[in-house]
Amino acid sequence: MTPSPTVWPALRYDDAPAAIRFLVDVLGFTETLVVPGDERAVAHAELRWPEGGGVMLGSTGGPADAVHDTMKPGTGAVYVVSDHVDDIHARVTASGADITLALHDTDYGSHTFSLRDAEGNSWTIGSYRGA
């Protein structure tokens, strides 16, 4: 059984519904909770990574009374561990997303690549699980 995440990267998007679709349909996250906000906004969303972990996100433009509500889109960077890097790379390539670092093997044993989502957040997908 995959343990529940205990560290949650948090991101903000101008178009959170589109970001959720990309993260689920292309990268492979699972949508576990989406709390709607006003109009097309997302007040809060939680996406789980099937191999462990998760990410939280929401729409920009919320009340400026909390740290996350003042975050700007496109400033996040997230590293995602996977045993399926080649499959994810194929989906990302087919989607037309901006691959910022080509698929390669590192000196420390990771099979990895990096991309930017439509709003500029950086994602690195790799097989390295840490020391």
How confident is the model at residue 2, as a pLDDT? 66
How confident is the model at residue 103, as a pLDDT? 98
Over residues 34-93, the pLDDT tens digits come to 999 888 789 999 999 999 999 999 998 766 556 666 778 888 999 999 999 999 999 999
Which residue segments constitute the domains of the chain, with CATH numbers given?
10-126 (3.10.180.10)
How confident is the model at residue 66, as a pLDDT? 63
How confident is the model at residue 70, as a pLDDT? 74
Q: For residues 58 and 42, is the Cβ–Cβ distance under 8 A?
A: yes
CB atoms < 10 A from the CB of 114, how many?
Answer: 18
CA distances from 1 to 50, 90, 93, 96 (A): 11, 27, 31, 34
Cα radius of gyration (the chain): 15
Place of tokens 């997302």: 42
Q: Number of helices and strands (H, E) in the chain?
A: 2, 8
pLDDT at 128 over 80: yes
Q: Mapping DSSP to helix (H, G, I), strand (E, B) and coil, where does residue 66 land?
A: coil
Pairwise CA distance, residues 85 & 125, whole Å: 6
Average pLDDT, the chain: 91
Higher-pLDDT residue of 57, 6: 57
4-26: average pLDDT: 92
**Is 0.85 topped by the overall pTM?**
yes
Pairwise CA distance, residues 128 & 84, whole Å: 12
Mode of pairing for the β-strands spanning 98-105 and 77-81: unpaired
Residue 37, judged by CB atoms within 10 A of its CB (0-12, 13-18, 19+), counts as middle
